[in-house]
Structure 1
Amino acid sequence: MSGKLITVFGGSGFIGRYAVRALCKAGWRVRVAVRNPMNAGDMRLSGEVGQVQIIQANVRNRPSIVRALDGADAVLNLVGLLSEKGRQTFDGTQALGAQNIAEYAAQAGIKQFVQMSAIGADLNSKSDYARTKAEAEDAVKAKVPTATILRPSIVFGPEDDFFNKFANFSRFLPFLPLIGGGKTQFQPVFVGDLADAIIGALASEDTQGRTYEIGGPSTYTFKQLLEFITDAVDRPKLLIPVPFFLAELKGMTIDLLFKLWPFHAPPLTGDQVRLLKSDNIVGLEKDKNYGTIADLGVTNLETIEVIVPTYVWRYREYGQFHVKVKDDVSRVDI
């Protein structure tokens, strides 16, 4: 693959930073297409001198997409939203953005195309996030039939928006909400393993035109994940079941307030609650013949038990270099 150029849209985000490093290690030249290049200068450190190029592009601006694709051999689209803010909407950014990229990639004759989607993407979903992820998949496959679709479960790593969020909640909330009773299942995958799956998707023509569900080595309920987080940060909390309808109403209210004061992402939205109504694990759609991360050559997956404590320690009351002594209430230095 040495010398081939891949354009990565959304390459400065959480998943993008790991993906770019993996691509550089695999020998790709990488063009990182971002809305604000001034905030992505450190991406050049992901590879050797000159291996990473930063270019301005907005998936809603078609001329900028054409510039970003000029001379590219492959495309990786990682653009996605967890909540809407201003012009960054699910329809305009996730669905239409993917369609724009795929349309111009097809015109450029690019056949290697990896689209990052999500487990649970469904055209009939009541969640705008899941619906537009599915619309993005269909738009990409219509324009570039050889595209590979990756559908991960929740992705964990030092900069994630799941384990960090609830670990932070445990610092100031007297309890944590078990939305829907905490029964929703997840299969968290380490961001480094997902980056390796991207490399696997690009490494073989056999992956073209296929969809892969990407999950970690174990499944957990939402309740089990909250129990794991509170134990990892040593902040025991009461877990109180909250019905979906009540959590959705609260999420919609919070989302509205944050749209009126749009300086930070909302901690919870109604759309995110709607996502929690469906399990987020590999293999639920048995009739679709989806591949798995193992089919992409990625095995020996990292677990949350090994990785998550290495970065949520900052939410502990007593810092990093202390441990609990299970048979003693005291804390000792290590």
Structure 2
Amino acid sequence: MQSNLETLVTVFGGSGFLGRSVVRALCKRDYRVRVAVRRPELAGFLQPLGRVGQVHTVQANLRYPASVEAALRDSHIVINLVGILAESGGQTFDAVQAKGAETVAKAAAAAGARMVHVSAIGADEQSASAYARAKAAGEKAVLAAVPSATIVRPSVIFGPEDQFTNRFAALARMSPVLPLIGETTRMQPVYVGDVATAIADAVDGKARAGATYELGGPEVLTMREIVQTILTITCRDRMLVPVPFGLARFQAAFLQFAPGAFKLTPDQVTLLEKDNVVSDAAKAAGLTLEGLGISGDSLEAIAPQYLWRFRAAGQFQRNGA
């Protein structure tokens, strides 16, 4: 039987938020991991996740097929994690999440490698969101090139380096009032470690070939409930002010150029108009975390482990203290 040590897994986008958790999960299972990123010199922090020589970084850019083909050489399994939350210059949704995914899939097919592709719940060719349309186009292109590929669609992912819970916690530290866009929109926050485990399981061959898995956490929460949970964890008492979508889109026209936690794009507002939860069809087919035998961790259980740094009095502060 082939040992995992003999299996080379190439991870595109392995230095990102989800990527570092995926690399860690693969290293624990003794795979050889090649991380393909645009700036390998900035990915040195991945080395300690494995043993000496287990993790190797190479340069690749999804917009340049030759670099993708070179990064894939001799790979047995390919994971594509590359995605962007906002467009910038040549890094457009179409270039990265549609054409980029197609480039990786075609290279994987040529190399005879299995593939796991990470998309997102809400991927839809008919969506009003350019992000969601590009994700759907990417899925379609991947399955056209590699019909046996496993597609993974997470809901909103949370964890120590996320741009979701940390963003709201940072805003709450700066402002006594928090604008609430999509107050009643439902989400199913999923822990980054659980998504990484699901991807590693797919690499192990535990997921169905050609199937699309929808990954959500154990709770379905409204945007208001999520923000309130973050405020409770960070011991902040803030006024939550619902913002109508029309007004939010107007504000986003200007805030898309803002820095850090203040950045908001019109496309992100569009995404917030629709629920982001696991479908009944995926549940019925067993194409979920639970279907893979993974019991997901809740936001309330995990977030205090890293959001404590946003408390005014530090780690040991408690509400009411």
Relative to the length of structure 1, the TM-score reads: 0.91
* Inter-partner Cα distance in structure 1 for 2:28 and 2:77: 16
Which residue of 125, 128, 146 corresponds with 1:144?
146
* Inter-partner Cα distance in structure 2 for 1:286 and 1:297: 14
Which residue of 267, 270, 280 corresponds with 1:271?
267
Deviation at 1:284, TM superposition (A): 5.0
Aligned pairs for 1:1-334 within 5 A: 1-110=4-113, 112-180=114-182, 182-204=183-205, 207-255=208-256, 257-258=257-258, 267-284=263-280, 289=285, 291-299=287-295, 301-325=296-320, 331=321
Deviation at 1:176, TM superposition (A): 1.2
Deviation at 1:216, TM superposition (A): 0.5
Equivalent position SS for 1:177: strand
Q: How many residues align?
A: 318
CA contact (8 A) 2:40 2:58 kept: yes
* Inter-partner Cα distance in structure 1 for 2:282 and 2:236: 39
CA contact (8 A) 2:37 2:58 kept: yes
Deviation beyond 3 Å, 4+ runs, structure 1:
263-266, 284-290
* Inter-partner Cα distance in structure 1 for 2:317 and 2:213: 41
Gaps of 5+ in 1: 326-330
Deviation at 1:206, TM superposition (A): 5.3
Bigger Cα displacement from structure 2, 290-299 vs 140-149 = 290-299
CA contact (8 A) 1:3 1:27 kept: no
Q: Cα gap change, 1:264/1:35 in structure 2, threshold over 3 Å: closer, same or farther?
A: farther
CA contact (8 A) 2:83 2:97 kept: yes
Supply the AA of the counterpart residue of 1:21: R
CA contact (8 A) 2:214 2:282 kept: no
Deviation readout 1:131-159 (Å, 9 max, x if unpaired): 10100000000000000000000111110
> What is the CA RMSD across the aligned residues, in angstroms?
1.7
1:328 corresponds to: none
